[in-house]
Structure 1
């Protein structure tokens, strides 16, 4: 292999030892989308760290890490979340993909698709029938090519002083 050729990143399941990587990727993801202030990102990181630690310990959340030369360069998380049975699926658990993040130096190399496919394979192994996610405007095309369809979900922000992020506007 020539020095200009780098080995392809490898995927592995994340563990509790990857907690800080997932927290850092979440902060970077929202920073890249220009969503929230630095103070808000810091508050979110502390709350998310505590929440994700519990989810990883109980197995309610599973993750994948893409590594290159032993260094995390991209990641995804999948939450098994309670849901209400519907005529579409009687199951009361759905998968929710979140925190799909690739470091800027590794973007446009297919890592988000690779991580998403890995998470979908895990979901299939667990018997999950419906997978949900909230896509950034930039990533919508990728997820639609992978078979995800926009839904009729709507959201009302009711908290005093909370501004509706631009990512939530103009979705149709």
Structure 2
């Protein structure tokens, strides 16, 4: 297994490819669309910032220069401090994906551990994620567990 490294702007295309594979794995199909170009732009811009609020750790594909086999991506959010969260920093993990040809080798774990260490270095007191059934055992082994039931509101945008 390779050691994860922080992603850079040049990794945006491959991160979108892995994100597409993640959705295909979760939903049974990859839905290409305008979201992919928007995601590439957001990633390239965010990964170029010196004071990152979005971070990604990746494992390079040794057989494909410029290719990636796995990633873990998350954001650091500054909220108001509260009891138990004295600095008000929270993390959210929203993209852990490994290319199917490279699964079962510990790449997702290594990327996620690197991302969690980044959250720790930024003093995030809580890190959230939405687990799929396939990823739940990994996340539990890394210390994730249930907390209060969140509510969300989703607004559908018109597709142009």
TM-score calculated relative to the size of structure 2: 0.82
**Distance across 1 between alignment mates of 2:92 and 2:121:** 15
Match in the other structure for 1:31: 24
**Distance across 2 between alignment mates of 1:160 and 1:19:** 24
Match in the other structure for 1:43: 34
SS in 2 for 1:17: helix
Runs (4+) of structure 1 exceeding 4 A deviation are none
- The structure that has the greater radius of gyration is 1
Report how far residue 74 of structure 1 moved. 0.4
CA 68–146 in structure 1, closer or farther in 2 if over 3 Å, else same: same
Structure with more relative contact order (C-alpha pairs < 8 Å, separation 6 or more):
2
Match in the other structure for 2:119: 123
Report how far residue 18 of structure 1 moved. 0.6
**Distance across 2 between alignment mates of 1:102 and 1:81:** 25
CA 37–73 in structure 1, closer or farther in 2 if over 3 Å, else same: closer
- Cα-Cα RMSD: 2.4
**Distance across 2 between alignment mates of 1:148 and 1:132:** 8
Match of 1:62 among 32, 52, 55: 55
Unmatched runs of 5 consecutive residues or more in structure 1:
1-7, 162-172
Deviations 1:43-78 (A, max 9, x none): 221221222222212222121111242542101112
SS in 2 for 1:57: coil
SS in 1 for 2:111: helix
> For the Cα contact (< 8 Å) 2:79–2:90, is it kept in 1?
yes
**Distance across 2 between alignment mates of 1:138 and 1:44:** 24
**Distance across 1 between alignment mates of 2:157 and 2:39:** 22
Match in the other structure for 1:155: 152
Count of aligned positions: 153
Unmatched runs of 5 consecutive residues or more in structure 2:
none
Is 1:53 aligned with 2:44?
yes
**Distance across 2 between alignment mates of 1:44 and 1:81:** 23
> For the Cα contact (< 8 Å) 2:58–2:72, is it kept in 1?
yes
